[in-house]
Structures are given as C-alpha cells and as structure tokens.
Structure 1
C-alpha cells in the first residue's frame, strides 16, 4: 500500500533559516521561463559560429557498432570530422552545413537512432555505464540498462512527454551512486539496504524514486521503476503548468509558498499518481545515496569472464578515426555495443581478455585517455572560441597549454568554460576555470554540496600564436593545479 505522505514538506525545516528561505521563495514566484525550449537536437540544428550543430540523444549511452559507424561517416561527410561527447552521454556533430539536415535525418533514421521524431529531444536518460558488467560489494551489479530500454519505449509512446524540455533528465543508477549524483530531475536508484530480503539484481527487487535533489523518495518494486519514472515526469509537466513558472526542470519550480507547487509538492503529487496507476510505493523521509565514482579508464573484469574497456575522450572530443577504433572493437564482440558515458567516456563491453591489453595500447597511441595517470584525466572544456559566439576565449587551447605545463595527474575534476554559463560543467566537487576575457580566467573550487570560495584567482594566459592556438601561461597552469588539490569544504 502507498504510505501516507506528510501534510507538509518532508524535509525538516531549520527555523533559524526561515526568513532567508521565505525571501528566496518570494524571489521565484515570477515565471522563470518566458520562452520555449530551444535546446538543439538531431532534427533541430543549432546555428553556431563553426556551422550547424546536431545533438543526438542516446538513452543510457547505448550504440550498436553499426550505429557508431553511421555517426563516424556523418561526421566526415557532413561535419568537421569529429564527434563530441556531452555531459549527459549524448553525441554532438559540429560544423554541419546549413542544408544538410535532411540528409543527416535520413542517415539517423536508417540506423534506428530516431525511434520517434516528436520525442527525439526528450530522450535524456543516463544510466550507470558499468551496470551488468562488474560487481559491487561482491554482488553482480543491477542492469540499469534494462530500465533505460523500457523507459525509452514508454517515453516515446507518451503523448504528454513530448512537452518535456530537452534539458529534463532521467538518471537510472544500479546502486553504486554514480549517475545518482548528476542532479537529474527524476532518479531511479537500485536499493541494496537490509530491508531487501534478496539481492536487488533479482526480478522484483527494490528501487528508490527521487524527485530532483530531494533527500526523500518513494520506495517501490524495481519492475515498476521505468513506468514510475515516466509518471513522475508527466506529473512534473502538470505541476509546472499549474505553477505558471514555465519551468523546464524540477529545480526551477517555485519553492512551495502559499499555493505555489514546489519540488516537495511534486513528490506528493507523484505519490498520488502512482497510487492511481496501481503502483505500490512507500515514502522514505531520508534516503541515503551511495557515493560512487565514474568508471576509471582502463580494463574492467566482468562476471562472465570477458573484459570491459573504459576510455575517455580528450576534452570530450573524438576524431572519426578514434571513434572507428572503438566501433571496430565493439564489432568484434558478441555484444557489438558501445556505451557512451556522461563523463565523456566510452565503454566497450564483452572483450576477449587476451586481446584487451593490445587494444588499450592502440587506443592510448591514438590519443585516448586509457589510464587514471594521464594528465588529461578529469580535464573538460566547453567548445569556446572560435566555435561559440558567446565564448570569451579559446578555452580548449588554453586547457591544452595548462595540461602540457602540469603533467601531474590527479585531483578534482576541472572544467574550462568560455563564459559564465559554464556549459557542460560537472556536478559535485570540481574546479571551475571560467573565462572573463581573451586569455583571462577566474578559478574557483566548488564543493560537493555548496559553492565554496576556497580558492579564487584571476590569471591571464598569454598566447604566442593565436593561429596555432598555443599558450604560454605558467601562472594559469599553476593556479589550476593548486585548485585541483584543494580540500573541499561543505
């Protein structure tokens, strides 16, 4: 039976914070969105300074080797010959000609990458990339990829879901806590607590449904999880419309003052919707979330005796040739599959252990990140100049210059942004390097829970040759390296 929801916010309120909270809530009563969502897709191309941009949603990051080859061909024939991996495990093609949209759509349809034209921008589903490929705490991990396939089918069949923003995100976590930390709007987390009589990989195990960043959640049977996630998204649309906020994401809902529906009210509305749909759920007031890390680059031993290979793209960008090395490797496995990760990496599962080390060496030689010891590991960047009109600097070149001057790996992830929008920045603890002008940056350290000001610096990288985009900025490299080793505060 569905447990009764509390009449007020399930999160205890610190009365000392009440005035500040009231002021914050009053500030968000006005609509936060006054225009439609212009998020790019595979069919709605975005006009960038370096040509058109197409963003292809890949639920759970899954691609067959044939689909991967189609994308490599599209990048070469229609774009700039590269594929960008986004922070949601999607793939972007850049440098597309204005008139290539029809040809690109035909290629994607033919490869089975666009199951629904009306839903193609809302298929934002991330899932634990190593789900089903390794063991967690001695147990084979839950295959959250199965959840993702089912949710994608339900999503594409939902008339209401077409109204979701291209930014609304589902995260399906197999219990390790990796994608649960990505700040999704709807999260499914496989449960591994003592209340489950059997391991959660069994059919009928438990899952926790979380709304936004609420600490509370709804505990339900894992077989109901994909349907519950869709109902939560559809309920969000109803609540967002009632709020008059124009919200695209859960965090944009008004904070629940008077009759304004906020995230806590959304959770109660979702509970009611699940009950109407016959899905039994139990309210959990304070649910713990494991703190899992992204897959490390290298080899991962699978329970079936095969090996999964984990690699990362330098600054999230792969050439068509690098991409083909991965798709060719996948084609030689029984699975014939690639998994693109939200940390701008790629997993190739099902490899023969005898061939895995040689493949890893070839990928390292081709310029991919294959070891945690690489100085490139954990370094990300937006497009910057000259591809983005809003960027204030050539961040990729400056990031490359800083890595070349500081070859010591490790520390917090660092993300270089061409402007204050910080497109593609990671969740959780990280270093922000934000351009404030041509070659000038502000560096700050973000805590896991709150923004901190542990390290703040403004430095300038002096370019010696803007045509080759080299930099000579030891102060910048040193400041970034220092920030990456700064202890986080909460």
Structure 2
C-alpha cells in the first residue's frame, strides 16, 4: 500500500463553506459541529464506540443522526485537533481534508440485504466513493453536492432531492442504470440510462460535464440547469446512452416503506430503531453497538429517516434485542408519537432558530392525534435544516412556542399551503388531527 498523503494541519479549512465536515468544525450557538460522513451509512460497532468516546471527551455528549445517513457531534470545545485525530484513528474519514467534502453518496440502509433489490449497489458505491475521493478535479464539487444510488430496494428514501440520482431498472431482461438530475426518483423521470456495468463511467461523465458548466455562483446542479436544460446537459455527455421511451417513461415503483421494528432481509432480519428526534447520547450509541455485536453482524446502518438499523439479527434474538434498545431510549415502532416528528436543533443550538423546536416536539407529541399526518416537521426558521424534503405538515416557528402550520401541496411552492397562523403547540396538535378539508386558512 502506498504511504498516505501528508495531512494538512487540523486547523486548515478545505474551502469556505457553512457545511460541517470531519475537517471543518463549524461554530454554532451550542459549540462546534463536526459531521462524520459514513460510506453507505455503515458504522462498525467499534467505530460507534469511538464516536461516543469523542463526543464525551471533546464535546458536550450530543450526537445526531442526520437525514443523509451520517452522524454529527455537537457542542465541540476548543480541542478540534484532538477530536479529528480520534475520529481519523477510528477510520471515520480520509487523511486528506480535500477528500472529505465530496463523499456525499446515499444508499438504502439495507443495500445488499433488501430482498426487493434488483442489485447489490455496494460494489458500485465503493467505486464511486473511490472516484470522488481520489480524483483531484472532483474535489472542486460543493460540500453540499449529493448523489443517490438506488438499487430498487423496498426500504428506500425516494423523496430527498439530489444533484444526481441513479436508479437500477430492468429492461429487456438486462439491468440498466437510469440517471436523473436535480431531483429524486420518487417524483421524476430519468433522462437516460446505461448498462449497469457502465455505472462508474456514467458517474464520471456526469461530474466532468457538471464541472465544465459550474462556477462559484453555480455550484449545485439545479443552478447549472437554469442556463443548460437537462436534455442539453445529457447531450453533452461523451458516453453511449439509451434514451428511448422505455427509459424516459420509466417511473421508480413505490412500496409501503417502514424503517422501525423488524425489517425483512434476504437472509434473516434487521432491526430498525430511532433516537427521539434524531438525537443520541453516548450511552445510547454504545448500547446499540453492544447489541449489534451480540445479536447482529457487528455493524450499524444510519438511515435518511435519522434512524439506525442493526442488520442480520437472528429471529430468536429479535425480541430480546428490541427490548434492550427500547430500554436505551430508542423508538422501536411507528406507533410511538415521536416516530412521526422531526425537528431542527432549535434556538438553544442555532442563532436563527426562533423556538426550542426539539423540546416543543416532545410537548406536541402528547397532543398528536390519530388523524395527524404521518410526518410532521418543526423548524425554527425557513431553512428547514433537519429535513431534506417537504414534510406532509410543517410547523414554522415565529416566536417561542408559537408556529405557523403548513400542509404540503404540490401546487404551492415552499412548505405548501398555510393552514394556521401563530398557533400554540396544543392548537397545532388539534388542527393536525382534523381532516384536511376542515382546515381553514
């Protein structure tokens, strides 16, 4: 193995950005934030212990699961170098700072295990990550530039927008890889396809084409497509493409998607659990790692629902493992009210937040009735940091403990249709429990 490239000093920022990374610890009201980008969302039990130890030793002990299947540590103190070195020693990032930003590739948390998948995407994902990390030209990509690789799994987040999305499909008895730009397979059609074996070449061609058109002011795919239509973008790829009606009319199939409780695998089962509102303590993470070692395959998978999966748990151990995870404070089934709620950091951790959204969400849970939408998001400001797509219902803070209520409507931009103004949490809970046709502006 060739020697590792000399790492830059730990206080060097790879490039200006407000987006946290391993090497970029961003200041917040409650201290620094370090984001740990996990390849395919996978975290070994030993690495989970290392994150828990780092959060206690170098920060305030707050760990968060993100909506891009990563982890972040909050409340970091002055010893940035010590924190980063501890995480690097656990294999949780590259020794080259410039390689960290570009590792934004999301897979199904059950990639390689989902019985409904058309293909195991993990080998191609490993190639794509190696391409991103090892190609200096691609280090110019924005720290927010994101890719999705979808293998047709039943457990799949199809609504998060990505700069580039790739979906496996089967046509004429052959496996293909469809590509879409600035969107998601849940509500868009592909622009072209290549044989699945040519997937890495497709990714390389798309990224090279993007960088030809991008600039400091146009660093995301949606910005580039303002002046270059998606069709013109695809026309410029130096790659044989399939673009007939069978590809262009294809729509990613949807299934009922559950990510908590016992989940089917091709062999055995996985357990899905969620830390309340995406926030873990070191004890919770250590406990989950212990259960993964004793009852699973020794790994954890982070999911885009801010939850964890423990793969390959034997049927005889499922109940015992879920009981242990429940005692640690994890949500283990969709019937628990907090399973339906997401919330941003709130005013204690973010200067832009107008209310303590996480504490408010805990209160709201007691007033959330059976008619309420399956997903309700509380956000302290219009940026809506904790959710990558528009929720069925959004509560936008306007003052401490008071919110405007929006319901998602494809005809209305942003959060959707405004249904209630300046509501208390109890009033919001009551309105959310009403049938949609009974809600007035």
TM-score by length of 1: 0.79
SS of 1:459's partner is strand
Residue among 79, 86, 90 paired with 1:100 = 79
Residue among 252, 257, 261 paired with 1:298 = 261
Give 2:166's aligned residue. Answer: 188
Residues 68-123 of structure 1: CA deviation (Å, up to 9, x unaligned)? 111111111111212101111111100100x2211112112111111242121221
C-alpha displacement at 1:129, in angstroms? 1.3
Residue among 459, 465, 468 paired with 2:422 = 459
SS of 1:142's partner is coil
SS of 1:234's partner is helix
User: Structure 1 residue 354 and structure 2 residue 352: aligned?
Assistant: no
Classify 1:285/1:197 alpha carbon distance in 2 versus 1 (closer, same or farther; 3 Å): closer
C-alpha displacement at 1:308, in angstroms? 0.6
Give 1:228's aligned residue. Answer: 202
Structure 2 counterparts to residues 381-460 of structure 1, below 5 A: 381-406=343-368, 408=370, 411-427=373-389, 429-447=391-409, 451=413, 453-454=416-417, 456-460=419-423
Structure 2 counterparts to residues 172-321 of structure 1, below 5 A: 172-176=149-153, 178-192=156-170, 195-197=171-173, 205-213=175-183, 215-241=189-215, 246-256=217-227, 261-269=228-236, 272-275=237-240, 281-282=242-243, 284-292=247-255, 294-304=257-267, 306-321=268-283
SS of 1:185's partner is strand
Give 2:145's aligned residue. Answer: 168
Residues 248-291 of structure 1: CA deviation (Å, up to 9, x unaligned)? 221122523xxxx243332222xx2334xxxx544633331222
CA contact (8 A) 2:371 2:434 kept: no
Classify 1:361/1:333 alpha carbon distance in 2 versus 1 (closer, same or farther; 3 Å): closer
Greater Rg by CA: 1
Give the distance between the partners of 2:390 and 2:256, measured in 1 at CA. Answer: 11
CA contact (8 A) 1:39 1:167 kept: yes
Structure 1: runs of 5+ lacking an equivalent: 1-34, 199-204, 462-472
Residues 369-403 of structure 1: CA deviation (Å, up to 9, x unaligned)? 11111111121000011110111111111111110
C-alpha displacement at 1:167, in angstroms? 0.9
Give 1:143's aligned residue. Answer: 120
Q: Considering only aligned residues, what root-mean-square deviation do their CA atoms show, in Å?
A: 2.5
TM-score by length of 2: 0.87
SS of 1:420's partner is coil
Residues 280-319 of structure 1: CA deviation (Å, up to 9, x unaligned)? 5446333312224544311123222x22111112111111
Structure 2: runs of 5+ lacking an equivalent: 1-14
CA contact (8 A) 2:347 2:357 kept: yes
C-alpha displacement at 1:162, in angstroms? 0.5
Give 1:133's aligned residue. Answer: 113
Residues paired across the two proteins, number: 416
Classify 1:239/1:477 alpha carbon distance in 2 versus 1 (closer, same or farther; 3 Å): same
Give the distance between the partners of 2:84 and 2:111, measured in 1 at CA. Answer: 30
